[in-house]
Structure 1
Amino acid sequence: MKYYIVEKHYIGPNPRDGEHIDFNRFEVTTKPPRNKEKRICVNGWLGTVEEVDRYAHGVYDSLAAAEWAVKEVLLDGEFRRDPDDDLPLDVLAVYRPGRYEPITDDALIQWLEYRIEVSADDDDEELERQADMMIYELEQEGRGAYRLQMRDALEFLRDSARDD
């Protein structure tokens, strides 16, 4: 049996909405990937379907070799493996880049509302300090946010406090 790695990357609008925030992944599969012309392709771009770019990253003789290759493809070395339940029959493993599960913008604002008091008087320096602290707390719960995303959410809460 042969094992293949297929990378799926969402390229459409609203990449940080609930449906797409954690979409990007690497799948280890037993089904050979095919390009847009329906030909087997084990290395390179497979095409874009419904705003999802697909790339093939090789063919391997064992599951262990394929999983090791996924770790090599993920340049920053941080990844997480999805639970084995709910996978399609030909997909043996799914790896997602990053150590923490991303959070949507709306969910981040809601999460912050219950954890921090943002004042209308908070200046940019205070928001930076709060951003560092809240990123750390969010990561303790297994979730992650980009610094800019956290800063935008805090600014939104500050602007809301100013409007009240």
Structure 2
Amino acid sequence: MKYYIVEKHYSGSNPRDVKHIDFNRFEVTTKPPRDKEKRICVKGWLGTVDEVDRYAHGVYDSLAAAQHYIQTRLLTWGFRRDPDDDLPPDVLAVYRPGRYPPITDDALIQWLEYRIEVSADDDDKTLERQADTMIYELQQEGRRSYRSQMRDALEFLRDYAREERDD
């Protein structure tokens, strides 16, 4: 049996939308990848379909060899392996970039509401300091937020506090 690595990368609009936020991945599959013309292609660009770029990263003689290649050559800066439960039969493993799965905007706001008091009087410097602290705390719980996303969430909570104060 041969094993193939296929990279799937969302390249469309709204990459921070909930359905796209954690889309990019590397799949180890037993089915040879095909390009847009349906030809088997084991290295290189396979095409873009529905705003998803696909790339082939080789053929391997064992699952261990394919996984080793992903871990050492493709995701050397951090990765995580997804659970195997909802994979198609030909996909044996899915690896995603980053040690921590990202959090959606709505989930981040809810998470912050239970962990920090954002005041209507907080200035931008205060929010900046809080953002750094909260990013660290979120990572301690195994999740990831971008700095801009954290700042936006804190600003949202500050604006909400201001509306509550003014009512």
TM-score scaled by length of structure 2: 0.92
Letter in 1 for 2:120: A
SS in 1 for 2:85: coil
Structure 2 match to 1:3? 3
Structure 2: which 5+ residue stretches go unaligned?
Answer: none
Greater shift after overlay, 10-19 or 82-91? 10-19
The Cα of 1:135 is off from its aligned counterpart by 1.1
Structure 1 unaligned segments of length 5 or more: list them: none
| Distance of 2:4 and 2:41 partners within structure 1 | 10
Cα deviations by residue, 1:106-160 (Å, 9 ceiling, x for unpaired)? 1111211121111121112211111111112211221110111111111111122
Equivalences for 1:30-45 in 2 at 5 Å?
Answer: 30-45=30-45
For the pair 1:126 / 2:131, whether they are aligned, the reply is no
Map 1:38-57 → 2, pairs under 5 A: 38-57=38-57
Whole-angstrom CA distance in 2 between matches of 1:19 and 1:10: 10
CA RMSD of aligned residues (A): 1.2
CA separation in 1, counterparts of 2:99 and 2:75?
11
User: In the TM superposition, what whole-angstrom CA distance separates every residue of 1:2-48 from its partner, at most 9, and x where no partner exists?
Assistant: 11100011122222222111111100001000000100111111111
Match of residue 25 from structure 1:
25
Aligned pair count reads 163
TM-score (norm 1): 0.94
The structure 1 segments of at least 4 consecutive aligned residues displaced by more than 3 Å after TM superposition are none
Counterparts of 2:98 and 2:133, CA distance in 1:
20
Paired residues for 1:1-164 under 5 Å: 1-71=1-71, 72-76=73-77, 78-164=78-164
